[in-house]
Amino acid sequence: MSLKYEICIDSTAGALAAEQAGAHRVELCAALFDGGLTPTLGTVETTLAAVSSIRVHVIVRPRGGDFIYDDYEIAAMERDVAAVRDAGAQGVVVGALTPSGQVDVEVTKRLIDTAEGLSVTFHRAFDMTADPFAALDTLTSLGVDRVLTSGQDTTALEGAPLIASLVERAGDQLIVMPGGGITPRNVNRVAEATRAKEIHFAALVDAPSPAIHRNPYPFMGGELRRPEYARLVTSPGLVSEVISASGI
């Protein structure tokens, strides 16, 4: 069995790094610190123009926090899916839940319909569902192509027993893709324990800011913040290391 590798990125440079390292697909996001939000259309278009062989799937998620959306947020997501589709992306990554922790069927169906045949991944909103098996059955009936999950646990390694059960239940109807905390040290264990066909991970390393002039006093974010002059970039070397370590 050969694995497919999806890299979570937040820039065009990240897509190029993933492509260089031999990944099959990227999930293009903004705000990875918040778990991934909808990137700008400019970033989507620039990334699609820059890569040549790798598939680009774009997350459509208007904000951090829960996955229960009001009418305005739903309308915004529909417009974003349409914009991503028209830009030429190969897939979208979406998710919506009800207050009781079920898949929001109406909203999910609206987003799938708007995608007009693009590959659709249901993101880790799945990990917040009350009954993962019922959620999987619902998403299968809706025609979703894949589900990204950590097995409703802190990492995919810890959630591997549930992921394995979901993989078995899904069969060939839907791809269950482990993601969350996957590293060169554990990727082989996750792959072997889950028997998944695809793996999702980030490959971020620290990179120095090019800023020469630095003001240590103002901050651009809230109280919980990263250092102002710190960058995280996707490392082609780390992507390659994870792929090699999978042993598959």
Q: pLDDT (tens digit, 9 = 90+) per residue, 21-32?
A: 999 999 999 999
Q: Quote the CA–CA distance of 57 and 228 in Å, as a whole number.
A: 29
Across the chain, what does the average pLDDT equal? 95
Q: What's the pLDDT score for residue 12?
A: 98
Q: What's the pLDDT score for residue 104?
A: 98
Q: Quote the CA–CA distance of 234 and 222 in Å, as a whole number.
A: 24
Q: Stretch 167-182: mean pLDDT, rounded?
A: 98
Lowest average pLDDT, out of 3-17, 30-44, 107-121, 223-237, goes to 223-237
Name the pTM for this structure: 0.92
- Give the CATH H-level superfamily of domain 4-246: Copper homeostasis (CutC) domain (3.20.20.380)
Tell me the Cα Rg of the chain. Answer: 18
User: Exposed, middle or buried: residue 25 (CB in 10 Å: 0-12, 13-18, 19+)?
Assistant: buried
Q: What's the pLDDT score for residue 229?
A: 74
Token pair 């992507």: residue: 239
Q: How far is CA 182 from CA 119, 153, 185, 246, in A?
A: 23, 13, 8, 10
1 has a pLDDT exceeding 80: no
Q: What's the pLDDT score for residue 240?
A: 94
Q: What's the pLDDT score for residue 98?
A: 98
Q: What is the pLDDT of residues 111-165, one digit of tens each?
A: 999 999 999 999 999 999 999 999 999 999 999 999 999 999 999 999 999 999 9
Q: What is the pLDDT of residues 180-202, one digit of tens each?
A: 999 999 999 999 999 999 999 99
Q: How far is CA 128 from CA 97, 122, 142, 237, in A?
A: 8, 12, 18, 32
**Sequence spans of domains, the chain:** 4-246
Contact (CB, 8 A) for 157 and 190: yes
Q: What's the pLDDT score for residue 224?
A: 67
CA torsion 199-33-53-243 (nearest 10°) is: -40
